[in-house]
C-alpha cells in the first residue's frame, strides 16, 4: 500500500502503534480518523467480536477485516437458556466456519455462545486452520463426540478446548473414545473443560493426556470421573490452577487421604468446581488449599448442607468468587461476610426452585449481610423467596459499587413481605445509588414506577431483564427513553404494547437487541416497525401459525428485534415471520 | 359462539382465528387470553404527553401520531368481550394444561416446568435436571436411612416426591409420593387403590405410562425402576385394550 500524501508516519509505524490498541471501541474510533488509518486498522485487526451473529454477514466481515485471528460470535438471545426460544430458531455457525475456512487460514481462536455447530463444522475447523489454538463452545449444541474426535486428531497446536454447558451428543465410537484421538506427540494442552459431558470418559486416555501436557492449567472433569481417579490425575498435574472435580458419593477413608495428599501438592490451585453428589466428608480434603482459593463453584453440590459450607468458606479468606446453592442459608452467608473480605462475585442458586414452600432458611438477610461485610462485592445473582424494600435500600447504600445485580424472587409478583407494597422503591434505590450498574434483573411486584426510576437513574445500564412487571406502556417507554446506554433488553409477561415500542423505534437501532414474549405487542405494530426501520430485523416468533390469519391487533407470542446491516436472514424456520422485500404481507 | 357485536373486522376476515382447535395441543387459558382476549389498546391516558414528537420536521408525523391514526381503524374496540367462550368453557375433563393429546410420544417440552410457567424461575435446563435428580435421590436416601434405622438430622428439606397422576376417563387427578415406593408393584397397587372408586377393579386393565424430563411419554414397565424414578415428571394410567 502506498503512503498517503500528508501522512507523516510510514504505515509500518502506524501499524505498530495500532497493535497496542486492543479494545474494539478504541479501534473503531481510530478507524474513523482518515481513510489511511481506516485501511491500516482494518488490515491489522486481529480480534473480532460479533454480539449477534445475524447483525452482520460473514461476507461483510471478511470484506472489512481480511486478516482476523480470533473470532467470537453469539447466537440465540439470552432467554433461550430458559427454553423461551423454540428449537430450530437459528444461530447456525456453519456458514461462518465455511467462509472463515477460506478467508482466514491463520485463524487461531473461535469462541461461540448459544450457537448450533454441527460435527461437519468441527471437522472443517480442525482441517482448515493450521495454527488453531482455542475453541470455546459456551451453551452450544448440534455436535457430538465425533466432532470432538476430529478436533483432537487434527489440531496440533490446540491449547484450549472448553465445552462449557454445551449439549454434546455422545456417540459410541468403535474407533475408541474421542480423547484418545489426541496423538501421542500432542503436548500443548493448556485448558480442558468437559464438565458438561454426560457420558463416561476414557480414563486411560485422560490420564495419558494429562500426563504429557506440562502446561495444563485448567482441567474441568465431568461427573463420570470418580474421586479416587482424581488423585491420580492431580499427581500427574500438580501445576493445575483450575480444577473441576467429578462425582464423589461414597466416602472412603483411603480415597480421602489420597486426595488430601494430592491436593496439598497442588500449590497453584486457586479455582475449584464440580463436587457433584459429594459426600460431605470429602470436604476436609479440600481444607488445606482453602486459603489459596480465589474461586469456588459449589452450585452442583446438592449434598452439602449449611454447616459444612460454613466450615469450608470460613477458611477461604482470599475468595473472590463464590457460586453456591441456597443450602448455605442466611447463617452461611453471614459467615461468608465475616471471612471473605475480598469477595467480588456471589451467585446463590435455588436447590428446590419449583417447591412452593421454602426448604431452606435463606432470605433477604443473607444478601444484606454479604453486602455489609464484603466491600468489593459488585456482582450478584440471588434466588430467594422473600424480599423487602428496606433490604434493597440497605444493599444499595452498602454497595454503591455494584455493577451487576440480578435478583430472582421465585414466585412472580411477590410484594415486599413486610409492607405488602411493590418493590419499586427498593429497586429504585439500587439504580439510584449504584451509579455504575451495568446489568440488572428485576423480580417481585413492580409497577410502572420502578421503570421511571430505572429510566431516570440507570444511565450506565447496558442490560435489563424484566418479568411479570409493570402496568402499562409507560413502563417500557421509561426504559427506552431513559436508559442511554441500553444494549440488551429482554422482557417477558409484561403488559407492554405497541405505543411505547413505536414511539421509541429509533432507540432500537442503538441497541443490540430487544426480546419481548407474552406481552401485548400486536402483529400490526410489528409490521409497521419492520416497514419503517430498514436497519432492524423484526422477528415475530409464533408457534400458533401465520400471524396474518389472526387480526392484526392480536398480540404476538414472541418478538425479537435486532439491528443488522445484512438484512432479513435467510435461514428462518416456519414459525418466524419478518418483513420481506416488498413488505406487503409481512410474510417471510 | 357468536360474534355479532359490531366488529371492525380485520382486512383478512377468517373464522379460523376463533377456532379453538386451530391452536392445537398447547392452547391453555393463558394462551387464549393472548390470542383472542385483549385485542384492544391498553389505556394510554398519559402516553400522549410523553410520546416524542418529531420537532425537526413539522410536516411529518411522528411514530406516535402515525400509529394513533392508523390504530383507530384497525383495533377492535374495547367494548367487545371476545372472551365469552373462555369463561364458560364446556365441561372439560382435563385441566387446561392437559389439553395435549394423549399420544404417547408427544414431546411437549414447554409444559411442566414443574407444572409452573415456562422458563420460570430462570434457571438453565441442566440445572433444573440436577435439582430434580437431587430431589429424588435425597428422598430416596432419607427413606432408606429411615428404613435402616438411621436418623436424618433435622433438615428442613422436603423428603417427598409428589407427582401428578391421571387415570384415563377420570376427571380428578391425584398426586402420589414416589419417595414411598421402590418398585412398580407397590406403586401400581397404591395407584389402583387411589382410583379404586373410579375405575375397574382389575389392575391388569390399565397400563402405567410416565412423562420423562424431555417431555416424552414412555411405558413405565419398559425401564428399570432406577431410570424411571430419576426422570419421571408425571404419570398416567391408560386403559389397555383387550
Cell of A455: 429510566
Query: In this predicted structure, what is the pLDDT of residue B156?
Result: 35
Rounded CA-CA distance A166/A164 in Å is 6
- Looking at the DSSP bridge assignments, the partners of residue A347 are A323, A381
Residue A359 and residue B157: Cβ atoms within 8 Å?
yes
* Residue among A79, A357, A473 minimizing CB distance to B44: A473
Q: What would the DSSP string read from start to end of A46-72?
A: -EEEESSTTSS-HHHHHHH-S--SEEE
**130-159 in chain A: CB under 8 A from chain B:** 139
Residue B124 and residue A302: Cβ atoms within 8 Å?
no
Cell of B16: 379460523
> Measuring CA to CA, how many Å separate A176 from each of A125, A179, A180, A201?
21, 8, 7, 11
Residue A503 and residue B46: Cβ atoms within 8 Å?
no
Torsion of CA B173, B178, B183, B188, to 10 degrees: -10
Rounded CA-CA distance A202/A224 in Å is 10
Backbone angles phi, psi at B144, to 5 degrees: -65, -40
A237 closest CA partner among A187, A301, A182: A187
Residue B131 and residue A495: Cβ atoms within 8 Å?
no
- The DSSP code for A24 is H
Cα torsion angle, A526, A527, A531, A534, sign? positive
Rounded CA-CA distance A506/B64 in Å is 12
Residue A503 and residue B16: Cβ atoms within 8 Å?
no
Residue A524 and residue B50: Cβ atoms within 8 Å?
no
> Measuring CA to CA, how many Å separate A356 from each of A400, B116, B165?
33, 10, 19
Query: In this predicted structure, what is the pLDDT of residue B80?
Result: 32
* Residue among B76, B120, B128 minimizing CB distance to A551: B76
Half-sphere exposure of A424 (CA within 13 A, CB side): 15
Rounded CA-CA distance A89/A134 in Å is 27
**Of residues A158 and B221, more confidently modeled:** A158
Helices (H), A226-293: 227-236, 253-264
Rounded CA-CA distance A187/A159 in Å is 9
Three-state DSSP at A235 gives: helix
> Measuring CA to CA, how many Å separate A185 from each of A2, A124, A158, A180, A203?
45, 22, 12, 12, 18
Distance of CA B93 to the CA centre of its chain: 15
Residue B39 and residue A551: Cβ atoms within 8 Å?
yes
In which element (H, E) is residue A25 found?
helix A24-30
Place of cell 399420544: B103
Residue A520 and residue B70: Cβ atoms within 8 Å?
no
Backbone angles phi, psi at A580, to 5 degrees: -105, -170
Rounded CA-CA distance A436/A402 in Å is 7
| Interchain contact A360–B (C-beta under 8 A) | yes
Distance of CA A399 to the CA centre of its chain: 24
Query: In this predicted structure, what is the pLDDT of residue B116?
Result: 65
Q: B-chain residues within 8 Å CB-CB of A473?
A: 42, 44, 47
Residue B10 and residue A504: Cβ atoms within 8 Å?
no
Rounded CA-CA distance A483/A463 in Å is 10
Query: In this predicted structure, what is the pLDDT of residue A4?
Result: 52
Rounded CA-CA distance A569/A90 in Å is 10
Residue B109 and residue A87: Cβ atoms within 8 Å?
yes
Q: A-chain residues within 8 Å CB-CB of B114?
A: 353-354
Q: A-chain residues within 8 Å CB-CB of B131?
A: 302, 350-354
Rounded CA-CA distance A440/A451 in Å is 12
Q: Please state, as a whole number, how many other Cβ atoms lie within 10 Å of the Cβ of residue B13.
A: 10
Query: In this predicted structure, what is the pLDDT of residue A328?
Result: 96
Task: Report the residue of B122, B127, B131, B153 to disrupt the A interface, i.e. the one with the largest count of A CBs within 10 Å.
Answer: B122
Half-sphere exposure of B67 (CA within 13 A, CB side): 30
Residue A269 burial by Cβ neighbours in a 10 Å radius (0-12, 13-18, 19+): buried
Cell of B186: 407397590
Query: In this predicted structure, what is the pLDDT of residue B6?
Result: 37
pLDDT along chain A (588 residues), means of 10: 60 91 93 94 95 97 97 98 95 98 97 98 97 98 95 97 93 72 96 91 92 97 88 94 88 86 93 89 90 96 90 96 96 97 98 88 97 98 98 98 97 96 98 98 98 97 98 96 97 96 96 97 95 95 90 94 95 89 44
- On average, the pLDDT of chain B sits at 57
Place of cell 412472580: A412
Place of cell 452498602: A398
Task: Report the residue of A503, A518, A532, A546 to disrupt the B interface, i.e. the one with the largest count of B CBs within 10 Å.
Answer: A503
Q: A-chain residues within 8 Å CB-CB of B163?
A: none
Torsion of CA A225, A230, A235, A239, to 10 degrees: 80
**Of residues A457 and B84, more confidently modeled:** A457
Query: In this predicted structure, what is the pLDDT of residue B202?
Result: 62
Q: A-chain residues within 8 Å CB-CB of B34?
A: 518, 554-555, 557
Distance of CA A259 to the CA centre of its chain: 32
Place of cell 410457567: B117
A275 closest CA partner among A302, A245, A303: A245
Rounded to a whole number, what is the distance in Å from the CA of B82 to chain A's nearest CA?
A: 12
A232 closest CA partner among A205, A202, A253, A211: A211
Place of cell 459410541: A172
A585 closest CA partner among A533, A538, A537, A527: A527
ipTM score of complex: 0.89
B28 closest CA partner among B103, B120, B112, B125: B112
Rounded CA-CA distance B21/A451 in Å is 39
Query: In this predicted structure, what is the pLDDT of residue B120?
Result: 93
Task: Report the residue of A113, A275, A352, A354 to disrupt the B interface, i.e. the one with the largest count of B CBs within 10 Å.
Answer: A354
Q: A-chain residues within 8 Å CB-CB of B110?
A: 83
Backbone angles phi, psi at A395, to 5 degrees: -60, -45
Angle at A529 between CA A525 and CA A531, to 5 degrees: 115
Cα torsion angle, B166, B170, B171, B172, sign? negative
Q: Give B203's pLDDT tier (boundaries 50, 70, 90).
A: low
Are the beta carbons of A493 and A470 closer than 8 angstroms?
no
Q: Is the pTM above the cut of 0.90?
A: no
| Interchain contact B104–A (C-beta under 8 A) | no
**49-88 in chain B: CB under 8 A from chain A:** 50-52, 62-64, 66-67, 70-71, 74-76
Edge-to-edge strand list for the sheet holding B174-177:
B174-177, B162-167, B234-239, B206-211, B217-219
Rounded CA-CA distance B179/A221 in Å is 31
Rounded CA-CA distance B193/B177 in Å is 14
Query: In this predicted structure, what is the pLDDT of residue A5?
Result: 53
B113 closest CA partner among A335, A81, A48: A81
Three-state DSSP at A399 gives: coil
Residue A347 burial by Cβ neighbours in a 10 Å radius (0-12, 13-18, 19+): middle
Rounded CA-CA distance B76/A396 in Å is 45
Q: Please state, as a whole number, how many other Cβ atoms lie within 10 Å of the Cβ of residue B109.
A: 15
**318-357 in chain A: CB under 8 A from chain B:** 349-355, 357
Three-state DSSP at A255 gives: helix
B112 pLDDT more than 70: no
**115-174 in chain B: CB under 8 A from chain A:** 115-128, 130-131, 134-135, 137-138, 155-158
* Residue among A360, A549, A553 minimizing CB distance to B74: A553
Residues B90-110 pLDDT 10s: 343 333 333 333 332 223 333
Q: B-chain residues within 8 Å CB-CB of A87?
A: 109
Place of cell 389402583: B192
Amino acid at each position: 500500500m502506498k503512503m498517503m500524501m500528508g501522512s507523516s508516519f510510514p504505515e509500518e509505524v502506524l501499524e505498530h502503534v495500532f497493535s497496542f490498541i486492543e479494545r474494539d471501541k478504541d479501534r473503531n474510533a481510530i478507524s474513523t480518523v482518515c481513510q489511511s488509518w481506516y485501511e491500516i486498522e482494518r488490515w491489522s485487526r486481529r480480534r473480532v467480536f460479533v454480539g449477534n451473529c445475524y447483525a452482520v454477514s460473514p461476507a461483510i466481515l471478511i470484506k472489512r477485516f481480511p486478516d482476523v485471528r480470533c473470532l467470537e460470535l453469539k447466537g440465540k438471545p439470552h432467554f433461550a437458556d430458559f427454553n423461551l426460544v423454540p428449537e430450530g430458531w437459528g444461530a447456525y455457525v456453519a456458514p461462518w466456519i465455511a467462509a472463515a475456512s477460506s478467508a482466514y487460514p491463520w485463524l487461531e481462536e473461535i469462541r461461540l455462545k448459544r450457537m448450533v455447530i454441527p460435527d461437519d463444522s468441527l471437522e472443517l475447523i480442525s482441517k482448515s486452520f493450521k495454527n488453531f489454538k482455542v475453541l470455546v463452545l459456551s451453551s452450544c449444541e448440534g455436535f457430538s463426540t465425533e466432532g470432538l474426535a476430529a478436533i483432537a486428531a487434527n489440531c496440533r497446536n490446540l491449547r484450549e478446548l472448553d465445552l462449557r454447558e454445551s449439549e454434546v451428543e455422545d456417540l459410541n465410537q468403535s474407533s475408541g473414545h474421542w480423547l484418545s484421538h489426541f496423538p501421542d506427540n500432542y503436548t500443548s494442552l493448556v485448558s480442558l473443560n468437559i464438565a458438561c459431558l454426560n457420558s463416561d470418559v476414557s480414563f486411560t486416555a485422560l490420564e495419558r493426556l494429562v500426563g504429557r501436557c506440562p502446561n495444563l492449567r485448567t482441567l474441568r472433569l465431568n461427573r463420570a470421573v470418580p474421586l479416587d481417579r482424581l488423585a491420580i490425575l492431580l499427581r500427574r498435574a500438580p501445576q493445575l490452577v483450575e480444577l473441576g472435580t467429578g462425582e464423589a458419593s461414597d466416602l472412603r477413608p483411603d480415597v480421602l487421604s489420597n486426595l488430601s495428599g494430592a491436593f496439598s501438592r497442588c500449590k497453584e490451585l486457586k479455582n475449584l468446581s464440580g463436587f457433584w453428589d459429594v459426600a460431605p466428608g470429602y470436604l476436609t480434603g479440600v481444607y488445606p488449599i482453602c486459603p489459596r482459593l480465589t474461586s469456588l463453584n459449589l452450585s452442583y453440590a446438592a449434598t452439602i448442607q449449611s454447616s459444612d459450607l460454613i466450615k469450608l468458606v470460613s477458611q477461604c479468606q482470599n475468595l473472590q468468587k463464590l457460586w453456591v446453592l441456597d443450602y448455605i442459608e442466611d447463617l452461611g452467608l453471614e459467615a461468608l461476610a465475616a471471612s471473605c473480605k475480598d469477595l467480588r462475585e456471589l451467585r446463590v442458586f435455588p436447590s428446590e426452585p419449583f417447591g412452593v414452600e421454602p426448604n431452606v432458611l435463606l432470605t433477604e438477610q443473607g444478601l444484606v449481610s454479604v453486602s455489609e461485610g464484603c466491600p468489593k462485592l459488585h456482582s450478584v445473582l440471588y434466588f430467594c423467596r422473600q424480599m423487602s424494600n428496606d433490604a434493597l435500600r440497605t444493599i444499595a447504600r452498602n454497595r454503591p459499587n455494584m455493577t451487576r445485580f440480578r435478583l430472582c424472587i421465585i414466585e412472580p409478583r411477590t410484594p415486599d413481605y413486610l409492607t405488602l407494597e411493590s418493590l419499586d422503591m427498593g429497586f429504585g434505590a439500587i439504580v439510584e445509588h449504584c451509579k455504575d450498574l451495568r446489568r440488572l434483573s428485576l423480580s417481585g411486584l413492580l409497577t410502572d414506577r420502578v421503570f421511571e426510576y430505572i429510566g431516570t437513574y440507570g444511565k450506565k445500564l447496558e442490560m435489563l431483564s424484566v418479568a411479570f412487571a409493570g402496568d402499562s406502556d409507560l413502563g417500557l417507554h421509561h426504559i427506552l427513553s431513559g436508559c442511554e446506554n441500553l444494549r440488551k433488553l429482554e422482557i417477558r409477561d409484561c403488559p407492554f404494547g405497541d405505543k411505547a415500542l413505536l414511539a421509541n423505534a429509533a432507540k432500537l437501532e442503538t441497541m443490540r437487541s430487544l426480546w419481548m414474549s407474552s406481552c401485548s405487542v400486536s402483529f400490526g405494530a410489528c409490521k409497521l416497525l419492520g416497514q419503517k426501520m430498514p436497519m432492524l430485523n423484526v422477528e415475530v416468533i409464533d408457534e400458533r401459525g401465520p400471524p396474518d390469519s389472526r387480526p392484526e391487533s392480536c398480540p404476538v407470542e414472541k418478538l425479537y428485534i435486532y439491528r443488522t446491516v445484512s438484512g432479513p436472514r435467510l435461514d428462518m424456520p416456519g414459525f418466524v415471520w419478518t418483513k420481506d422485500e416488498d413488505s406487503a404481507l409481512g410474510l417471510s | 359462539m357468536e360474534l355479532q357485536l359490531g366488529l371492525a373486522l380485520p382486512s383478512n376476515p377468517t373464522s379460523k382465528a376463533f377456532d379453538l382447535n386451530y391452536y392445537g395441543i398447547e392452547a391453555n387459558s393463558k394462551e387464549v387470553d393472548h390470542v383472542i382476549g385483549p385485542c384492544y389498546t391498553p389505556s394510554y391516558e398519559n402516553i400522549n404527553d410523553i410520546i416524542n414528537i418529531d420537532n425537526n420536521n413539522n410536516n411529518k408525523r411522528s411514530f406516535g401520531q402515525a400509529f394513533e391514526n392508523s390504530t383507530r381503524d384497525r383495533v377492535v374496540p374495547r367494548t367487545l368481550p371476545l372472551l365469552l367462550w373462555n369463561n364458560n368453557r364446556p365441561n372439560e375433563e382435563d385441566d387446561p394444561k392437559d389439553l395435549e393429546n394423549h399420544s404417547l410420544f408427544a414431546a411437549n417440552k414447554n409444559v411442566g416446568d414443574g407444572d409452573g410457567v415456562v422458563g420460570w424461575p430462570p434457571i438453565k435446563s441442566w440445572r433444573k435436571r440436577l435439582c430434580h435428580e437431587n430431589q429424588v435421590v435425597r428422598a430416596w436416601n432419607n427413606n432408606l436411612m429411615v428404613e435402616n434405622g438411621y436418623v436424618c438430622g433435622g433438615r428442613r428439606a422436603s423428603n417427598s416426591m409428589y407427582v401428578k397422576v391421571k387415570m384415563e376417563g377420570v376427571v380428578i387427578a391425584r398426586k402420589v409420593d414416589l419417595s414411598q415406593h421402590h418398585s412398580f408393584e407397590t406403586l401400581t397397587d397404591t395407584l389402583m387403590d387411589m382410583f379404586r372408586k373410579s375405575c375397574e377393579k382389575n389392575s391388569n386393565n390399565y397400563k402405567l405410562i410416565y412423562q420423562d424430563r424431555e417431555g416424552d411419554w414412555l411405558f413405565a414397565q419398559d425401564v428399570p425402576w432406577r431410570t424411571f424414578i430419576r426422570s419421571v415428571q408425571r404419570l398416567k394410567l391408560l386403559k389397555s385394550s383387550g
